[in-house]
Every structure is written in C-alpha cells, then in structure tokens.
Structure 1
Amino acid sequence: MADQQPIVLIVDDEPLGRDSLESLLFNQGYALEFAANGAEALAKAAQVIPDIILLDVMMPDMDGFEVCRRLRDDPVLADVPVVLVTALDDRDSRLAGIEAGADDFVTKPFDRAELRTRVSTITRLNRFRRMLAERSKFEWVVEQAEDGYLITDEAGKIHYANHKARLYLGLPANNETPVEETFHQLIRKQYNAEPQSAWAIWPDESNTKTPRYLVRPESEASQPFWLQVSTLQLNASANPLVTVPWLVQLRDVTDQMAAKTDRWNFHAMLLHKFRTPLIPMVTGLDLLNQYIDDMPREEIRQIVSRALLGADRLQNSIEDVLRFIYLSSEMRVEKDFRMDKFRSLITQICHELEMENVKILLDERLETPDIILNLAGNSIELILRELLQNTKKFHPNHKPAVTVSVSPSRFSPAIVLQVADDGITLSSEQLAQVWTPYYQGEKYFTGESAGMGLGLSVVASTVWNAGGSARIYNQTPGPGVVVELTIPIIHAKQPATA
C-alpha cells in the first residue's frame, strides 16, 4: 500500500470543475480518477476504492448528498473520506452534508493551498487508518492460527508473538506484555535447536534445504515435543508499521516425527526379522537342489529340519510384524538400557550382519549396570544396526573396516558413540542433507545414486528426542565418514573423564 499512490476520485458534472481540481492536484503524488455524475461516481468508487472523494454537491439526477448517503450505506466504501465541494455556504447545506456522512467541506471558490493541504492530510490519515485496520485483521487471523507466529529483528528481539507462539515459548498470554528476552534466549530454556548446522545461519533459510527443529526432549512426565521453524524476510518498506524484518513460524510436528520414527522402526525390524530365518531356508534348498542325489538320507533330514525351523521362525516373525502394525507404541518402552550390555549387543549385531572387521573401543568405566541411557534397549539396537548396515551397504566392496568407540562426554552426563568406516567420502552437500527425512532414500535401494540411507534421519531424531545430539563428518585423513551421537545418561555413578 505504501508503494502505491493515494487515489483521489474527483466527481463533478461540469468539465471545468473536474479540470480545475485536476490542475490543482496534478503532479502532487496522487492517482486521479474522474466521474461526471452520481451513478458513475458510485461505480468508479467501487472499482478503485479511493483514498478520498472530492464530491460536487450540485449535480443533476443524483446530487452529492445522495451520493454520500449511498457511499455510507456500502460496507466496502463506508469509511472512504468524502469532501463536499459546494458553492452553498449556508448552515442548512452544511447540516445536510453532515447528516449524509460528509467528512469535510470546501466552498467554491476554494483556496488552492488550503485544499491541497486538506487532501494531503486526509489521504495520509486514511491510509494510516486502513493500515491499522489491516493490522487488526492480521492479528485476529494469526491469533486464531494453529501455528505460532513471531515478528523479530535480526538480533532475535521479539516485537510480536501470537497466542500459540507465547504458549510454545512459555510467555505470558497477554500480548501487551513486552518480551525482554530474545528468541534464542527463550528457546534455550526448554528446547534443543537441531540440526545445529541449519541454525548456524539463522535467520535466513534460503541457503539451506534442511528443516530447522526445536526439540523438547522426552522426560519422565512428557513425550518429546517437536516444532518445525520457518522464517520469511518481510519487506519493511512495503508497510511503515512493520519495522522489523523477520516473520518466524513455529509449527507443531510432533505427530509427524513420531510417525516417521515408527515407520523407520517398522522397516528396520521387518528387514531383520525376515532376513534371519530366510538364510537356512534358502541355503538348505540350494544344497538340496544341487546335491540331493548324492546326499545321505540323514543329511537331507537335517537340512530339511533346519529349513523347517527357519520357516517356523519366519511365520513367527510375520505374526510379530502384524502385531507391530497395531502395537507400534510398544517401541516406546521404559528407558532401561544398561551400558554393561553394550559390547555384547554390538558383537551380536556384527555377527548377524556378517561383519568381521569391526573394532570395538568401549571405555571400561562405562561397562557397568550403574549407567543407564535415556533410550530404550530396542532403540539402541535399531540405531546400532542402522549405522553398521550403512557402513556395509555403502562401502565400495561391502567389506568395511569399522571402528565403534564409546566414551564419556566431557560436557554433560552422556556417552559419545562414534561409528567410523573406511568407505565413501561425502560431499559438503551430502553432509548437509543427511538428517533430512528419507534423503534420496529410494535411490539407495535402486542404486541410482549414493547417499546415507533411509533411516539415518530417524537415528538423529531418536537421539534428539532423548536430549542428545548427532553430527557427521568425513574421516581425516579419508576415506570414510564418522557418525557421532551424544546420548544422555539418566542414571549413573558418573565416571570421571580424562
């Protein structure tokens, strides 16, 4: 609105009268519109919604008083300022104009400087009134919105926050209460900003495709809570009332993240439960197909017995998967994973994945039942399985040399888990995108392009849910990458750190 010229509608049945007002206001920064009678004036006003109408009183068919009354009866045009231009200077004419709804009067012949001043003042005030009305409408809409909305400056000072944003940030419900703390100070009180690489270039998001999240970790009293954060730079010059440049949207995506985690858990469990019993079945049938004519009866019986055992396990696995579909909430069990089980779990997974070249460096101070992680045992297993599978799946010859190291964090009650391989080296773009949900997931299965696998984004989100952190970087020197997870401890006799 501020970039557009104020519109002045001049209504006069006399061409001389229209020309006189045009010469007065020409080249004064106005867009001038004209009407020669009352009916044309009403039609033109509805078309252009002027900022002011200079309306001649003495016109045939429909005089200025009647035009003014009809304008006031129109809900769209009722607030448009009307200045009656009249040769009538008596008291009754002015009272008739006031009763019709006129805002001001100009008596012919008029003072040119005075009329210019009146038009300038009225258009400026009307534009300001309109902007206030538009702002009131905007605030009403955003106050009813399901998402949180903030208006901040570059430094994060909050100039406006709707009801939802105040709820998410723990602010008083009254929007009249000024917010002293910055946006970043407020979110640090209850959220973790993830992934950190995306937040490092705040507030602009044009240079990153990675979504920004605020994660309130799971606690004994509540489930994890996720907000997706988007920003839009406002054009301050387009509205003089808006003096700050950033609109921040806070959207609750907790359900979507939980669904994504359940989907990944389902995929991982499906792969594991189906593959294991299929091995003796396929291997046994292949042996029988090739050598049955030369096999002793007892050996055939043993092969068939193992295949039947595999089939029975497969049947049980299918039943388990069907139960999982309906009871996926069983994945969220009590946090009970003790660190004295960690080494045996990694060894078991490596054996199942047929990975022989895996070195385990586990700080002996952590191998104790006194240390319990803020993740369920099956979540730990799925995370380890996903990370180790990725090292094998994306290694050039599928025989990686892997080092799994676990040490106490130097900064908080937590463990630092690192899984390093000697496989591919990732580009900066791939490193920036690995936490994106299903990043090139389908292409990995079809072999069209390289990447970091379907479940890695959920590995990170699972750790973020627990209040931990996740990062990935290339080995130095290469080749290969390191995935590093910091997983909080919820109960421990904290080991001393070096």
Structure 2
Amino acid sequence: MTQACILIVEDEPLVREVLAAVLADDAYRLEFATCGEEALTIATELRPDLILLDIMMPGMNGYEVCRRIRLAPDLAPIPILMLTALDDAASRLEGINAGADDFLSKPFDRAELCARVRTIVRLNRYRKLIEEKERFLRLAEMLPHGIVLLDADGRIRFANPALAGLLRLSRVEDLLGQDFMVLLAPGHDGLVKACIDDLREDATGFRDVEAMLKRSDDSSFPVAIDGVRYPAMSEPLIQLVVRDTTEQREYLAALEREAYQQRSAGAAYLATVQRMEGRSRQLLETQEFERRMLARELHDEIGQQLGALKLHLRVLGRGTDNAQQVSRLAECLEIVDATIGAIRNRALELRPSMLDDFGLQAALDWYCSRQAERSGASIEVVLDGLEERPLPDVETACFRIVQEAVNNALRHGESHHIEIGLSSLGQQIALRVQDDGRGFIAPSVLATTARGAGFGISSMRERAELLGGNFSITSTPGVGTLVEAMIPLS
C-alpha cells in the first residue's frame, strides 16, 4: 500500500518544520506549499489524501484556496483541515461556507493534531474503497464475457455474473467450488483440460479453444475459451475468458448456406465471396476493437480496484498485532500483487497500447523481448526500409501474424531461435518469421487447415489475403518453419 499523502499549506517556515516533526512518526508522505497558487498546482498533480491549510497567507488566503478546491470536480472530495490562529465563530463559519471539513486552532495540541489527521485519512480512504468497489461491481456486471479463476485443482475460485448468465444460473455462488470440467459437455473436456495442463507448464497462454458448455437445463452451447496463467502466486491460478460463439457460428453457417445457394444457382458467386470477405474483415476489426476496450477496462477499472484493495489491506495489517491475521493479510497482499501483474500482462496481450501509440516496430520489440524472457529462446527482429508507419490495418495484420507465428514456434515447435524480418519492397511489406523448431509435414497440416481445423494458420492467411496480400508457410520435420507474407502498403 502506498503512503497516505498530506499536503501542508503554510507560509511560515517554523510552522512547517513543526508540522513535519509532529507527523513524522506516522510515516506519511508530506508535501509542502507556501502559498495558495502553489497549493492548487500540487493538489491537482498529486491528489493528496488530506490538505492541512493555513488561513492567514499573503496573496490568496486559505478561504479562497478552499473554495477553489471545492469547485474543481477532481479535487472536491479531498478532505481539508484548516489550521488557524482565528478562534472566533465568524471565522469558523466562513471556513465552513468555503468547504472546510475540520478546524484546529493555533497553537495546536500535537496529540490532537495526530489523532485528527489519522481519523480523517482513514475515513477518506474507506470512502475511496467503497466507491472503487461499487465501480468494480458495475464493471463486472457489464462485462459481456464470462470470467473465471481456477485453483490448482481446477475448481472455481471466482466467477462473474456473465458466466452465470451464460449457464442460466440464478446465482454466481452456485459456481464457486465446482470443478470447471463438469461444466463442459461430454467429449469436450479433453482438449480444454489439456490446454489448462499445458498452461501450468507454459505461461504463454492459449486462445480460441472451441468447446461446448452445459447449461443448468442440460442444453449445450458453443464457446471459445482463452486462458492465461498468473505468473507469481502462493498457489497457481488460471484465468479463463469464456465467449459464447452461438451467434458467430449461426452467422457463418448462414454465410455458407448463402454461398452454396449462389453456387448452385450459378449466379453472383463472386459477389458473395466479396461480401464474405467484407464481413470477415468486419469481424477482425470488431475483434480488435473489443480487445482494445477490454484491455482498457482491465487496466483502468479492475487495476485501480485492486490497487485500492491493496492499500486497505496494508492499513488493516498496521492495525493488528495478531500474528495469524498478519500472516493472512500478507498472503492476501501477495495475491493482489500477482493479480495486478497478471491483469496488466493480460491487458497488454489483448491489445498492446504501443501498437497504437508508437507503431509496429515498438510493439514487435516489446512482444518479442517479452516472449524471449518467458521462454528463454532467442528472438531477433529486423525492420528494413520502414521509415514511415504503415496504415493501422496493415500494422495490426503484421503484428497479429508475427504474434501467431511466434506463439506456434514456441509452443508447438519448441524453438530456440526465431528470426523476424519486415522490409519494404516497393508498395508492399515483406514479412518473414523463421524458426529452428521441430517443424512439421506442411502438406498434411495445410490440408487439415483447409478442412476447417488449425485456426491459427487460417487466421494468419485470412489477415494477409483480406488486405490484398498473400501468405505461405514452409516447414520440414527437424528443420524448422518459415512463415512468409506479402501485404500491400495501401
């Protein structure tokens, strides 16, 4: 938990020194301002937990500073304790009208000052926790996808309302403690269990594993499951994101029926294919948008909630001498720290912000250095002739193709060295991903992909071809794999 920040606004150096000495024993972070303007600037920047505000100052007095803070929406909730040599009722009434929360007359009693500061800081932090908790609950209720955390035995430790809704359960509590595998329809638990078992050994995670879940009425529905492992916990936890794909499957099935009818009639076949490609591009764009929004929600909302929870756990730890409670609070803090790190990592994996902010090279450098650190493999990135940033669609396609190729090389190919090259050839980008992994029999795998399996290769090919480019993959058992794509810049 971070230290509580107190802003002391006092123009007299001696009084500032006394206040600093009095509050030193409580380990606050103390910041100082010598005038009203400086106080407003520091308050805007730091958002302190409490402002100790002198009334009698040259220039802008304490009443005016207080009024301006209360008029600023971002600063208005900050508690203000006025320190004043004025002890008459009119002065206190003016302070109340300006928005002060409490008063302390000079000369002040040191014990009383410390007690009032501790009380105000504690109440302010409790208020913040309540507000953050309410925001978190609203976010959890609004998320459209199911979120679940599994312990080492595969039992559900946390589930959000969306997952209960997908399963047609009236209470989230009905899921807690259950083995997640019992929610899967017969014949669909093997692949999911294998992916989760692999995830306990390999932290790179998995995406879009298709399965069928059982509802409370024994009906089944299709889902796609993403998984990620928390990197540092007192016990291993697995996070799964469960997405209902019923509408997506129905939509794709409708497109297939429409295309079949067009082929059977021998009319407008090309128009149908073009329409399907347009829809596929729209699906990819929608997927990237959803990933960007979910990453932002994870980082901004849930991350802040957990940060507030961490602060209050530390406050609770300082308020007890019970060794068992202190030990349990320490374990809770460890879990919160690991969860914050995992959410930050998951948000970056969903949609790295540097891809939008700084471009393809920055995003690839970040992703590859991260994968190299996780796997121990050597990953080299070389960009040649890309002085200007490509269009956003081209950057996204290149990044996702590299991401899928590197993930396959590490997870399935057990590669030790990967070379990634992007270069500008006229009006096209040439992309190459070469690894020294186990390789595979390319014709067999590509034939399987053509029949609808192997989503990763299909996804890479589709991203390239939807932008008017081409894609190829070459592999030999024991030699490695080469992924190549040519994508137009415009």
**Interval containing the TM-score (normalised by the shorter chain):** 0.3 to 0.5
**Bigger RCO of structures 1 and 2 (CA < 8 A, at least 6 apart):** 1
Structure label with greater radius of gyration: 1
TM-score (norm 2): 0.48
* Structure having the larger proportion of residues in helix: 2
